[in-house]
Amino acid sequence: MTLRNDRVKIGVLLAGGSGRRAGVDKRLLVLGGRTLLVRNIAFLRSVFPTVAVSLGTGQRLDLGDAGDAEIVHDAWPGASPLAGIASALARYRRPVFALAADIAFPDSEALRRVLAAFPGHDLALPAIGTEYHQPLFAAYGPVCLAPMTALLEAGRHRIVEILPSLDAAEVRFPDDALFHNINTMDDYREARRTVAAGGDAPADEAAAAQPALVAIVGKSDAGKTTLIEKVVPELVKLGLRVGAVKHDAHSFEIDHPGKDSWRHGQAGAHAYAIASPERLAFITKLDGEMPLADIARRFFAGFDLVVAEGYKRTAPYRVELFRVGAGHADPLCGPGEAIALVTDSELSHEHKFALDDGAGLASFLAVRLDALREY
């Protein structure tokens, strides 16, 4: 839904806190095939010609698929939403709309109502009942900067403390369902259930697309399997449904000769499955090697990401593991061939990770799911 907005031209995503109370960086939790970070920047971009991401002083954040949004660092310590909004107002000296990065399902109609209420007022924000306001889905005018600055310089960070001194337009909502934010993993699981029930149609489009695909490549004995063992649990923590593919350049036998299923294949079945309450294995005969992209599309529909081991020449996106400690003198990939480099060497790369930084690599991949689906 495209909204016309002739007054507020700047959308600010408040992303200064990583939300470790949830146990992970909640900005990177995945809903409907995209991280909260990427989803909410896309929501703001659908309305505002200028989109900024508010971060704490000195913070860095890989925006991945979200592209080159402007970064506004807090001018006050504490990485609070109040500091983020005040810093954006100080930067632009124009009205801004502020959105919390952990709001799960920002609503276009709710945004339209808030923006429609703003003209002629100092700020506009949702009001639920008689006691509760939602200041992290709200429009703020430049006049708000002075009382915000006074609070911050007094070491206070509650946004609602500025309301008595300003002309605030209160937009009434019956409850806070439209502003569901993720503070804990229970909140996140509830949001996932909403997506699974079809309550978030735009994100479902991403979830229905082919899975993202990346291969971990490297020379023999570099430790590719070990790296996959590090990165997959970190991806799962972020809510991704992950599949894995191991390339074998030689023939292999997964079924056991003499077993009933093996005999089915020997009898002439071109494909057969072994199924139990816990597992299912599908075995098919091939006339030639199936491309990795076809494996991902055919067998991993509904997954967020497929991580392959191998396919060093044919994978559409490769992360190279180059380990000097394994006796290797040169990397496998040429310049520009690997999207990231995991290494113990001094080699430079725009996206470089230490051998044990599974969490860092997982974050890098999570914010690029849209790009990794293009193959």
CATH number at residue 145: 3.90.550.10
Task: Confirm whether 5 is domain-assigned.
Answer: no
Q: Which domain holds residue 220?
A: 209-372
Residue 329: exposure state from Cβ atoms within 10 A (0-12, 13-18, ≥19):
exposed
Domain boundary among 176, 202, 228: 202
In this structure, are 213 and 198 located in the same domain? Answer: no
In this structure, are 51 and 168 located in the same domain? Answer: yes
pLDDT at 4: 47
pLDDT at 263: 81
- Which backbone phi and psi does 309 adopt, to 5 degrees? -110, 115
In this structure, are 358 and 232 located in the same domain? Answer: yes
In this structure, are 247 and 197 located in the same domain? Answer: no
In this structure, are 197 and 240 located in the same domain? Answer: no
Domain boundary among 202, 234, 260: 202
Asked whether residue 1 carries a pLDDT value surpassing 50, the answer given is no
For the stretch 259-290, pLDDT in tens is 877 788 788 888 888 888 988 888 888 888 89
pLDDT at 259: 83
Task: Confirm whether 235 is domain-assigned.
Answer: yes
Task: Confirm whether 1 is domain-assigned.
Answer: no
CATH at residue 318: 3.40.50.300
Task: Confirm whether 2 is domain-assigned.
Answer: no
Q: What total number of domains does the chain contain? A: 2
In this structure, are 222 and 315 located in the same domain? Answer: yes
Q: Share the mean pLDDT of the chain.
A: 91
Domain boundary among 152, 179, 202: 202
Mapped to the 3 state alphabet, what secondary structure does the chain carry? CCCCCCCCCEEEEECCCCCHHHCCCHHHCEECCEEHHHHHHHHHHCCCCEEEEEECCCCCCCCHHHCCCEEEECCCCCCCHHHHHHHHHHHHCCCEEEEECCECCCCHHHHHHHHHHCCCCCEEEEEECCCEECCCEEEECHHHHHHHHHHHHCCCCCHHHHHHHCCEEEEEECCCHHHCECCCHHHHHHHHHHHHCCCCHHHHHHHHCCCEEEEEECCCCCCHHHHHHHHHHHHHHCCCCEEEEECCCCCCCCCCCCCHHHHHHHCCCCEEEEECCCCEEEEECCCCCCCHHHHHHHHCCCCCEEEEECCCCCCCCEEEEECHHHCCCCCCCCCCCCCEEEECCCCCCCCEECCCCHHHHHHHHHCCHHHHCCC
Highest average pLDDT, of 65-74, 193-202, 356-365, comes from: 356-365
pTM: 0.87
In this structure, are 213 and 360 located in the same domain? Answer: yes
Task: Confirm whether 3 is domain-assigned.
Answer: no
Which range among 175-179, 186-190, 217-221, 270-274 shows the weakest confidence by mean pLDDT?
Answer: 270-274
CA-wise closest residue to 83 among 10, 156, 26, 143: 156
In this structure, are 245 and 107 located in the same domain? Answer: no
In this structure, are 167 and 53 located in the same domain? Answer: yes
